[in-house]
Amino acid sequence: MAPKIQWPLVLFSLFAGVGGCAFAFAGVANALGEMSGVTNAVTVAAFVLVCVGGLCSVIHLATPKNAWAVVTHILSFSGISVELIMLGITCVFMVAFVLCDFVAFPSIVKTACGLIGALSGVYLAFATGHGYLISSKPTWNTTKLPIAYTSTSLIGGALFYLSVSSMLGASASVTSLLIVVALLCGFFNVVALMAYMGHLGPEIARTNKKLYGYGIVFCGIMMNLITTAALYVLTLCSPELGALFTAVSFVGLAFSLIGGLALRMLMWIVGAGFLSLFDLAREHRSVILNQ
């Protein structure tokens, strides 16, 4: 039986995680002295991405009744309720971060909103993977999974920030510092993905060669490191962020999204086999009852 990938949940975790981590980079950039016009624009774009992710999650709930059940049981602190809580908290910090420029607050208030919001954005990425820790699913039941979710979201969020900010005249000095952080996120992504792949074992790699080799290793690891390294070299060679920098940023963002998507697809493929057992039993229940 073919495995069933829950695409709304795949897109929710990818978009919400990348959007939350992009906001984290905007908050750090603001603390480093980046112009408000740049950090606000990235935050608005990240807010839209997070909201799109949230809509994907709602689509998965299928009916308003299910959605209302989640809201009324939000304090149960189940996996889905924690995701919803962090989604709301991160969005609140995003809105507050932008509104600080329209209200006569001291600059320290916006800095605090940005840095605290950065933590909530990163934790949102972690929470979207932590809800899958289920003891009955050995391929999911490891903290290496949400850490891998976080690592793919961090590198995606970094390249999302660099792509948008470079089009808006971002400071080269601030950007060069953030690229170092992006490189560190890239190396962390390598360790996190390899750790989860090690948990799955070599047999799964052999049975999912294309997804593993092209999606995760090539796009999610190699191209992320190559593009972030290229961006770092470009900042060393030129005092300004040019069109080439923006182009490489968008290329890196595309590869990071493909890598993050591949990880989430593989997670469902290796875990859906357990769900298929229930589908198989339901389809053949009449045969079983007649025996």
Angle, nearest 10°, between helix axes 79-99 and 36-61? 150
CATH class, 7-280 region: mainly alpha
User: Tens digit of pLDDT for each residue in 138-174?
Assistant: 889 899 999 999 999 999 999 999 999 999 989 999 9
Percent of the chain with pLDDT over 70: 85
Rounded average pLDDT over 209-227: 93
- The pLDDT assigned to 34 comes to 95
Q: Give dist(CA 29, CA 120) in Å, integer.
A: 16
Token pair recorded at residue 19: 């959007």
Pick from 202-211, 250-259, 268-277: least confident: 268-277
User: Tens digit of pLDDT for each residue in 74-123?
Assistant: 555 555 778 888 999 999 999 999 999 888 788 899 999 999 999 999 99
Q: Which of 245, 77, 282, 83 is nearest to 167 (CA)?
A: 245
DSSP state of 40: H
Token pair recorded at residue 81: 């309720």
Contact 285, 15 (CB under 8 A): no
